[in-house]
Structure 1
Amino acid sequence: MATIHIGKYQASIYQEGKGYTGALSLGFDAQGKRQRPKRKGRTKAEVKEKLIALVEELEAGVTTEEGYTVEDCINDWLARGLKARSQGTVASYRSMAIHHIIPQVGQIKLKKLTADDLDDWLDERAEVLATRSLRLIHQILQRAIRHAQKRDKVKRNVADLVDIPEGQAGRPSKALNFDQAEAVIRGARSSPLMAYVIICLLCGIRTEEARALRWTEVDLKEQTVAVYRSERVKGDTKTKKSRRVLKVARWGVQILNELHKARAVERLASGERGADTALVFRREDGRPYDRWYVRREFKKITTAAGIGEDWCPRELRHSFVSLLSAHRVASEEIARLVGHSSTHVTETVYRQEIRPALTDGAVVMDKIFKSRAG
């Protein structure tokens, strides 16, 4: 058995089985148990290199066990590193990690993860994911390793060393034309999402704004909806400009009135109090809508409408813009109605739907769906 010194530490290397084992002497812990972390290798030189790396980690304060994997790192970050994020955001990150990170690189030991490993992983994912999704999974891993760094589990963030390749072309957002919008309305008649779909279409509010809408923010007398919150961190809207009060088309007011009366009957039957603080859109059992429920039910509606299931709830907002623009509403007015900070955002995001014009959203929607309001 050979005894060597690495910095201030004493170590020993000895033959074991078909290779060699090295043990670093760290003295005793608070319970009097001897501390001798070990490293194994095929040659003495390989074991010595591993012991030197161990000493460097100890001096840098790194305390991770050898078996700590990328999957462990991600799970720690999801559990402890996202305390200011909404449950929906955490669930979205977890889903991306489960499908696109853990199966490919999750079992690699975090200390042994290399830039080559990540290059291979990203190149493989680029064959199935859009560039935006590639950026997201890279950010998830990057932030998870950064979280591990702050807890002295790894020395460097290897995710900082790789570039993101070009992914697949993402599916561009679409907008319903008038005939498709009518078909969706017919398809929604038997859906629990009917009122939700109609208000999103008539007002152009974001789907996370609609899910957070409460009856205290609906003024049926003034025929307005106040968009003050959303399902984001701390309930804030996306931007300050997103906080707005919208006039609702007559047909939308009619739908909200009917929904409000139905909720009143439910409250009376159940003895529920303080109902005006309740969510406008919720499931029959009182649970709030979540993004997955809305997406699933909306696919049923578009399928029933005969336009296929390749549609997202957010495209009701795109449709709002498209229908207003087709009826010659100005970009400035549309930007104000949808809560964009400038017409540049509106024209960039919805450039296929925008045409120049001028007037008020609710007035135009009344004209578009004039046969709907009673």
Structure 2
Amino acid sequence: MLSGAEGTRLCAYVVLSLMTGVRTEEARALVWPHVHLDPPGDIPPHVEVWRSVRATGDTKTKKSRWTLALPEPVVEALRARKDIQETDRKVAGKKWEENRLVFCSQVGTKLDAANVRRGFRAIIRESRIGGSWTPRELRHSFVSLMSEKGVPVEEIARLVGHSSTATTETVYRKELRPVITKGAEVMGNLFA
């Protein structure tokens, strides 16, 4: 999927969503003043997920309003996105609509969910992974990948802004391995 996204207008959107687990409505509402690619001191690069495209402009829940450190691939993708946007701004000239959005059209206007779905479907076709993926599955993939790497469900719930682990476990986490092996591993080591 990541290779299919390379060079597309949604590349940074896909990378950010997959590697941080932000909701689609939060990614679409992300503004540059909330993106810190070169923060001062020992603070890592991060995004402030404080807005949403929901009617109120708020995130889904109060716990969903959080600040997330960014892995290096996300930082690189957002830097590239900024460069693309600067080119778009110059080409658009007076047609450019300034709204400080990270993810916007070639003239600066908001992307709606249909714009994102259409671009995402093209990425899925290009990557040849098949199926009927939707952008929200990037968040599901984030949760599943965290789980696969042994991150405790409580920490995953905190990372995605869930107030409890129930939603994380029942709705988002899809086990990547068909057989749960942890018990056998622990007991095998204990009684080896």
Q: TM-score, normalised by structure 2?
A: 0.81
Indicate how the Cα distance of structure 1 residues 306 and 272 shifts in structure 2: closer, same or farther if over 3 A, else same. Answer: closer
Whether the 8 Å contact between 1:187 and 1:305 is mirrored in structure 2 is: yes
Look up the equivalent residue of 1:303 and give its one-letter code. R
Quote the residue 1:230 is aligned against.
52
Look up the equivalent residue of 2:124 and give its one-letter code. T
Look up the equivalent residue of 2:26 and give its one-letter code. E
Q: How does 1:336-347 map to 2 (within 5 A)?
A: 336-347=158-169
Quote the residue 2:29 is aligned against.
212
Quote the residue 1:284 is aligned against.
106
What is the number of residues matched between the two proteins? 172
Tell whether 2:144 aligns with 1:322. yes
Look up the equivalent residue of 1:286 and give its one-letter code. G
Look up the equivalent residue of 2:6 and give its one-letter code. R
Q: CA deviation at 1:323?
A: 1.0
Moved over 3 A (4+): 264-275
Give unmatched runs, 5+ long, in structure 2.
Answer: 40-44, 183-192
Indicate how the Cα distance of structure 1 residues 235 and 353 shifts in structure 2: closer, same or farther if over 3 A, else same. Answer: farther
Indicate how the Cα distance of structure 1 residues 280 and 349 shifts in structure 2: closer, same or farther if over 3 A, else same. Answer: same
Quote the residue 2:156 is aligned against.
334
In the aligned structure 1, how far is the partner of 2:38 from the partner of 2:123? 30
Whether the 8 Å contact between 1:303 and 1:309 is mirrored in structure 2 is: no
Indicate how the Cα distance of structure 1 residues 290 and 337 shifts in structure 2: closer, same or farther if over 3 A, else same. Answer: same
In the aligned structure 2, how far is the partner of 1:310 from the partner of 1:273? 33
Partner of 2:162, secondary structure, is coil
Tell whether 2:133 aligns with 1:311. yes
Quote the residue 2:73 is aligned against.
251
In the aligned structure 1, how far is the partner of 2:64 from the partner of 2:142? 16
Partner of 1:311, secondary structure, is coil
Partner of 1:295, secondary structure, is helix
Pick from 5, 12, 18: which aligns with 1:201?
18
Q: CA deviation at 1:266?
A: 4.2
Whether the 8 Å contact between 1:196 and 1:210 is mirrored in structure 2 is: yes
Q: CA deviation at 1:350?
A: 2.2
Whether the 8 Å contact between 1:227 and 1:244 is mirrored in structure 2 is: yes
In the aligned structure 2, how far is the partner of 1:309 from the partner of 1:224? 32
Look up the equivalent residue of 2:147 and give its one-letter code. S
Quote the residue 1:77 is aligned against.
none
In the aligned structure 2, how far is the partner of 1:271 from the partner of 1:296? 27
Whether the 8 Å contact between 1:217 and 1:227 is mirrored in structure 2 is: yes
Quote the residue 1:148 is aligned against.
none
In the aligned structure 1, how far is the partner of 2:3 from the partner of 2:26? 24
In the aligned structure 2, how far is the partner of 1:315 from the partner of 1:274? 30
Look up the equivalent residue of 1:250 and give its one-letter code. E
Higher relative contact order (CA 8 A, sep 6+): 2
User: Looking at CA atoms only, which structure, 1 or 2, has the larger radius of gyration?
Assistant: 1
Pick from 67, 75, 84: which aligns with 1:262?
84
Q: TM-score, normalised by structure 1?
A: 0.43
CA offsets 1:193-250 (integer angstroms, 9 cap, x no match): 1111111111100000000000011011131010001111211110001000000101
Look up the equivalent residue of 2:48 and give its one-letter code. A
Indicate how the Cα distance of structure 1 residues 287 and 271 shifts in structure 2: closer, same or farther if over 3 A, else same. Answer: closer
Look up the equivalent residue of 1:287 and give its one-letter code. T
Give unmatched runs, 5+ long, in structure 1.
Answer: 1-183, 358-374
In the aligned structure 1, how far is the partner of 2:104 from the partner of 2:14? 13
In the aligned structure 2, how far is the partner of 1:278 from the partner of 1:347? 35
Tell whether 2:38 aligns with 1:221. yes
Indicate how the Cα distance of structure 1 residues 280 and 328 shifts in structure 2: closer, same or farther if over 3 A, else same. Answer: same
Q: Percent identity?
A: 48
